[in-house]
Chain A
Amino acid sequence: MVWMPFVRSRFPVAVSVALLLLAPVATRAEWYAAAQLGVNFADPIRNVRGSGSLAGLEAPNFNLKTSPAFGGKLGFFPNHGILGIELDVSHSTPHIKNLDDVPGIHLSVTNIGPSVILRYPGVTWQPYIGGGPAVLVAHLGRSSTTESDTQVSLGANVLVGIRAFVTPKVALFTEYKYTDSTFRFGGAFGPVGGFDGTYRAHQLFMGLSYHF
């Protein structure tokens, strides 16, 4: 509680200064919100290794199904420039396919990724590239061999896309996004243990963005 007087005295001042500094940037920025729909082409989960009491064991790759994906974006370009920041959230369901006689397992992945975006600020066409860290929330369903389990892991996103304005404030875009992470389902097999594996996905999106 030593810091409480400091918080009381300095915090409002710090917030005010931050708002004053950010306000001009925010008012001069080009903000946008977008909705997107696409396809998730996930590579097999590779390097599958047991964890917990299964540590040291290895399993074949877990093949994943191609699935629909959807999501949204919120971003801004300070001073209407070429460099911007966006938050991208997308969801897909790359279910694990059956492994011979072992039945498949439901898997859903939510990708939350803040990205730095570099664009060509054309008046009609705006190609862009970007990248940044990702937080992947993956949920493994209960099956005859697994328990329901949710894991949160860090990863990375790299994306490239192009945007075309169809009205002065509305644009269509298409985007390719590559995601790389390592899943750690520590409780996938209940008290016996779980598994770790490398997850890599290619996503192709189309979407609509509104620039305000």
Chain B
Amino acid sequence: MTRSITLFFIAGILLFTAGCAESLHQGQRGAGWSGQSNAGYTDGPAYGGAGYWWNPFGYYGSGYGWYGGGYGGTHQSSNAPAPRPTPPDNAPPQFQKKY
């Protein structure tokens, strides 16, 4: 598995070194800007305004979504572990393992 992962990354590097073409869409758009007021930045739009970028990782802020901010056990009120119930005889073997 380690070998295949290494080959995966090498193949990725090799393929990306071949990336030398220009996007048709962005090339056309860049040409359209040449006569406009975006001088000095032909490769993309003029990103202005402080609110233009935002944090997509905000999903994982406190209290988010389906976990109610409680996943990971961070909201337990006490550090003392609760006693585990004894599994019944018909419980699957996964629940009879000690850990």
CB within 8 A of B15: which of A80, A121, A167, A206?
Answer: A206
- B18: nearest chain-A partner, CB-CB: A166
Q: A80-B29, A158-B57 are known contacts. Are A58 and B23 too (CB-CB below 8 A)?
A: no
Least CB distance from A50 to B in Å reads 6
A130 proximity list for chain B (CB < 8 A): 56
Could you tell me the distance between the alpha carbons of A102 and B4 in the complex, rounded to whole angstroms?
Answer: 28
User: Does B48 count as interface, using CB distance less than 8 angstroms?
Assistant: no
Chain B positions within 8 Å of A206 at CB level: 8, 11-12, 15
- Chain A residues closer than 8 Å to B44, beta-carbon distance: 82, 120-122
Interface segment among A5-13, A14-22, A85-93, A169-177: the answer is: A169-177
CB distance from A60 to the nearest CB of B (A): 4
Q: How far is the CA of A165 from the CA of B21 in the complex (A)?
A: 5
Kindly state whether residue A66 has any CB partner on chain B within 8 Å.
yes
Set A47, A124, A131: member contacting B56, Cβ < 8 A: A131
Pairwise interchain contact A66-B1, C-beta atoms closer than 8 A: yes
A50 to B57, CA, bound (A): 31
When C-beta atoms are compared, the residue in chain A nearest to B32 turns out to be A80
A182 vs B4: C-alpha distance when bound (angstroms): 29
Contact partner, A122, options B12, B26, B94, Cβ 8 Å: B26
Beyond A102-B93, A206-B11, is A124–B57 a contact (Cβ under 8 Å)?
Answer: no
Question: Does A123 sit at the interface, judged by CB under 8 A?
Answer: yes
- Contact assessment for A124 and B20 in the assembled complex, using a CB-CB cutoff below 8 Å: yes
B90 to chain A, nearest CB (A): 6
A48 contacts chain B at the CB level, 8 A cutoff? yes
Please report the C-alpha to C-alpha distance between residue A44 and residue B85 in the assembled complex, in whole angstroms.
Answer: 23
Q: What is the CA–CA distance of A129 and B26 in the complex, to the nearest angstrom?
A: 18
Given contacts A58-B84, A58-B95, A168-B27, contact A82 B16 (CB under 8 A): no
Give the chain B neighbours of A62 by CB distance below 8 A: 94
Q: Are B85 and A56 in contact (CB under 8 A)?
A: yes
Known contacts A60-B97, A166-B18, A182-B66; A118 and B56 CB within 8 A of each other: yes
Assess A124 versus B19: contact at CB under 8 Å? Given A80-B25, A154-B66: yes
Contacting residues of chain B (15-42) with chain A, CB-CB under 8 angstroms = 15-16, 18-30
- Residues of B within 8 Å of A54, CB to CB, are 87, 91-92, 95
A107 at the interface (CB under 8 A from B): no
Instruction: Judge whether A172 and B15 touch: CB under 8 Å.
Output: yes
Q: Which of A122, A126, A172, A211 contacts B24 (CB 8 A)?
A: A211
Can you give 9 A-B contacts (C-beta < 8 A)?
A50-B95, A54-B87, A54-B91, A60-B97, A124-B23, A165-B21, A168-B24, A172-B15, A174-B12
Query: Closest 6 CB pairs between A and B?
Result: A164-B19, A168-B24, A60-B99, A123-B22, A131-B56, A123-B26
Q: Which residues of B contact A (CB under 8 A)?
A: 1, 4-5, 8, 11-12, 15-16, 18-30, 43-45, 47, 53, 56-57, 59-60, 65-67, 71, 73, 84-85, 87, 90-95, 97, 99
